[in-house]
Structure 1
Amino acid sequence: MVELQTSRLDTVFHALADSTRRRMLSDLGGGERTVSQLAEPFAISLAAASKHIKVLEQAGLLRREIRGRIHVCRLDPGPLASAHQWLGIYEHFWTERLDVLERLLREEDAQNAPPPAEEGDEA
């Protein structure tokens, strides 16, 4: 079971590792797109776009429906949940580290602050 989840997570992160595929997913966040529409923003052939789409499809990040001769793609965000969960482990790590840094900086600021002016002292 763990091996299957790890393999799935590897596939998702592999798909997300490419900026073209991330942009395609972002575009799909706005609704269905055809393969041509997904390829349009890039200087790539339809064959190259199809390869990117196939990687996203294998990772489970999109669903493709064939309507006659048109391939319509739709975002499937489910696999992103496992990636988000895995990244959440590191969110906790960095939050703790940043809290420590904030405390140290506040202590340093307090030490370097000029002493408060006493009543009656005029500058």
Structure 2
Amino acid sequence: MEDSAYSGKLKRTTLATSTSLFKAMELIEKSMNTDKLIIRVECYAGYQGEETPRRFFMGAKCIEIEEVIDRWLAPEHRYFKVRGSENDIYILRHDELAHRWELTMFQSGKYDGSPLSST
């Protein structure tokens, strides 16, 4: 009988711990904003028809792209690492299926010693 009382207490403790852990994880997820910023992008279509971003807009602000530092493909997205006119670094993601551009990363050009710098 003692074993069954101990077993019941253990089950209740495990359930309470699991519930607390779940609630904590839920709070962490809610506090993290992982949404991507949707942007409008103007592109140049080269002779092969592949679009390259030339400028993009966040609200009313226009960011001119001075340099495409890198580009790579994923199965459903195209990525561009670009340097803006104020020496800021951005990673833009093009979701070709949804016809949507997103800003996935920004780094100020005023920060020195960056692993994302264009030099």
What TM-score does the superposition give when structure 2 sets the normalisation length? Answer: 0.25
Considering fraction of residues, name the structure with more helix.
1
Which of 1 and 2 has greater Rg?
Answer: 1
Larger RCO, structures 1/2 (Cα 8 Å, 6+ apart)? 1
Considering fraction of residues, name the structure with more strand.
2
